[in-house]
Amino acid sequence: MTHFLLQPFDKFVKLADFSRKAIKRCCSGDRAVDLLFHFPTSLQRRSDDANNFTDKDKLTVVLKITGHAQPRFKSSPYKVYGETPAGDTITIIYFHYNAAYVRRSLPIDGVFTVSGEARKTAEGIQMAHPDAIAPAASFQYYVGSEPVYPLTAKLTNKTLRYAVNALLKVMPEIDDWIPEDLRQKYELPTFTEAVRAAHNPKTSEDVMLTNPARRRIAVDELLTNQIRLKQIRESMTRMRTEPFQQTNEIIQRLRLPFELTKDQLSCLEDIKKDLASGRPMNRLIQGDVGSGKTVVAFISALIALENDAQAALLAPTEILALQHFYNIKKMSENLGINVDVMLAANRKYRFEQIERLKSGETQILIGTHAVLEEEIEFKNLGLAIVDEQHRFGVLQRLALIKKCKYPNVLAMSATPIPRTLLLGCYGDLDVSTIKTKPEGRKPIETIVIGASKIDELAARLKKMDSQIYWVCPAIEESETLTTVDERREYLTKHFSAEDVRALHGKMKAKEKDDIIRKFKNGEFKILVSTTVIEVGVDIPNANVIVIEHAERFGLAQLHQLRGRVGRGCDASYCVLLYRYPMSEVGKQRLQLMKETSDGFLISEKDLKLRGAGDILGKEQSGFNTLKFSDFSSNEELIKIAEEISRVIDDKTAEFLYKIFSRINEDVVA
């Protein structure tokens, strides 16, 4: 028999067809659990004091109807006059009305309980479109506080509350999956108690995560996530694959123009052990911008090649994919290996590229989402590398892994990931960290100035013998933001037109590639761009970056943009231009950027200021979407969920997946 929580909610609640469909849309599902997990987000107070209520309150009064005033014109409001037992006059106003219905609902001399949004005017108290008209005896039912739910169009709070209350009346006591000793240890209510309490808040604190009922549901959600991550890890551990050994057949010919850092060497040792273990590698390299993750990934790819396997590197943007292609081609000059790049925009040679992959002629393929298409086949893909991995969803990464004969995965992230996110999101991954940067690089000086000094800034930049990035938040016309076109036009007045070029995401791939290549060759001085250059662009001659409207960017993005400079041996500068008005959070960000260049510290601060969803991007983030909790502030709850996950059996785990499946699709995927 199907569990109560998984049955359709309209089996237990009588609803009109319109209401049923509206609730289904609002709750993103038709199961009992979908409706029960649609919790109120605030409380609405209904006051019974006509002389002492605020605009935020709804007013509830017993009203004797004394008259009607139907307007001559339909565009004017219909007014109903009434008097309270205390002698207060209240006018009920209908802007959209059926006159016959209003007269029938509120007949003269009738006495009713009337409740709705009211306001005090010079003509007395007015109440527009009351949401409750009931017999006078129902007065107390409409006084006090009531929960307010998130709603979709045309669904009322009253209808949703009715459905929830009807479902709660028939909900049985659910067998709890958290052992009683752990519930008592962490002061958690039972699941049934938590659901009932969450729908009956008494104070504004009761709708917050700190409330025991909400904490319990949050723990259940995190518990589901933790169990899933553990099962992924266990399934990967059980899988067997061909062990890869470093033979030095190719690597011994590699000539790098620099020494690897201690962290890079340590990271490579972790990867070599994984590849030699006979089990699929599932490792994340996290490191600050410019820490040298790409060369580690390249050497890892060479180990795969030494074992007659292919390697693929997946990048989120065409600019980054091309950057990797040029860098790897340069490092491969004397290795005798074949490297290719595949972009969505370049389909002219797609058939030839696929044939070379199938035959094994192409040994390392670098590309964007184009690599994930079904028609792309490899002869023997042995290592999948995913760069800026948080920009890809779970299903996208799996699509690449499925192309692997030996499913070894190496993910890279230039956004240092806070410990909380590692614990909550990456329980299925082994993590290696690169903190040190290559020797010889000087720290970047960060300068914060107001946009009013832009003329002085342009004059100083003109005197500098350096190439410059100038980042704008918008491409085309905007009332509030400086655009790429606007700034390029301004800068050509200070520099020659040949010295200023523009770059943005709407350009064709060939055009973007051409501009980046010319900038790298030093053919012009200033590149005015959107944040399309945020990751991967590596031009050692560019030592200055100016970021306009810096107060609007998050810390992680500002740090990524700053990482575009400081890649050579010369002094580098990051200029943050701000405009007023600026929020307190905006001020904190800019101050922190000025004080530190530690990406790990910045990521921790950004997590606290903005939350995981904003940092990583909710639409394309590889992180599991949470509805009842937040990785940014719930390290304690993640630890609780981690402890509980150790005692949950497989049957209970499957049940939890079913409960949370429509909420956390990413987890189930």
Comparing 71-75, 290-294, 614-618, the range with the smallest average pLDDT is 614-618
pLDDT digits (tens, 9 = 90+) for 527-555: 999 888 766 567 878 899 999 999 988 88
The pLDDT value given to residue 396: 65
Distance CA 542, CA 526 (A): 9
β-strand partners of 545: 469, 574
Helices (H), 499-554: 509-520
Q: 614 pLDDT band (50/70/90 cuts)?
A: very low
Q: How far apart are CA 90 and CA 130, in angstroms?
A: 12
CA distances, 659 to each of 41, 198, 474 (Å): 21, 17, 42
Is 9:23 a contact under the CB 8 Å cutoff? yes
Mean pLDDT of the chain: 85
pLDDT of 479 > 90? The answer is no
Handedness of CA 559, 564, 566, 571 (dihedral sign): negative
For residues 431-460, give the mean pLDDT. 87
Q: Give the pLDDT of residue 57.
A: 81
Share of the chain above pLDDT 90, in %: 42
The pLDDT of residue 617 is: 40
Nearest to 512 by CA among 475, 458, 462, 545: 475
- Which whole-number Å values give the CA distances from 152 to 26, 58, 663, in the listed order? 5, 21, 17
Q: pLDDT of 621-652, one tens digit each? A: 344 457 787 665 677 888 898 899 889 888 88
Helix axes 293-306, 318-331, angle to 10 degrees: 60
Q: Which domains does the chain have, with CATH numbers?
A: 42-148 (2.40.50.140), 208-441+624-669 (3.40.50.300), 444-596 (3.40.50.300)
Task: Report the C-alpha gap between 490 and 495 in whole angstroms.
Answer: 9
Per-residue pLDDT at 142: 83
* Local confidence band at 422 (pLDDT 50, 70, 90 cut-offs): low
DSSP conformation letters of 434-482: E----TTPPPEEEEEEEGGGHHHHHHHHHHSSSEEEEE-SBSS--SSS-
User: CA dist 640 to 185, 261, 426, 471, 646, Å?
Assistant: 10, 37, 16, 43, 10
Distance CA 469, CA 313 (A): 27
Helix (H) or strand (E) holding 119: strand 111-121
The pTM score is 0.66
664 with 224: CB under 8 angstroms? yes
> pLDDT band at residue 618, thresholds of 50, 70 and 90?
very low
> 488: closest CA among 472, 507, 506?
472
CA dihedral 121, 125, 126, 132 (to 10 degrees): 150
Which residue is listed with tokens 């290795």?
A: 335
Cβ atoms of residues 578 and 505 within 8 Å: no
3-state secondary structure of 373: coil
Q: Write phi, then psi, for 299 (nearest 5 degrees).
A: -65, -35
What's the angle, vertex CA 102, arms to CA 96 and CA 105, rounded to 5?
140
Question: What pLDDT shows up at residue 663?
Answer: 42
